[in-house]
Amino acid sequence: MSNVTIGVLLIIFLPFLVSLFGHGSVAKTVALVASMLALLLSVEEYGAVFPWVIGMIVAAVSVWERFRHRLMA
């Protein structure tokens, strides 16, 4: 596997990797499904953008809620 392929897979699965730092299993599942959908739609030009962005939003909110919960406690 070339370095470019590994880099592309890392970017596509970034929402799932970010969601692992979050709190809650639903956000991890949604981010994983969005990443897999982005991988499947990446054969078309700009096909993976929408599921990737949705996955990143879900993952970012999950991580934000974890930090907010820790700051309140």
Reading the chain (73 residues) residue by residue, the pLDDT tens digits are 899 999 999 999 999 999 999 988 999 999 999 999 999 999 999 999 999 999 999 999 999 999 999 988 7
Residue whose token pair is 């919960």: 69
DSSP tag of 24: -
Question: What six digits make up the tokens of 40?
Answer: 């499947």
In angstroms, the CA 6 to CA 14 distance is 12
pTM of the model: 0.90
In angstroms, the CA 70 to CA 22 distance is 12
- The total of other beta-carbon atoms located within 10 Å of residue 69's CB is 10
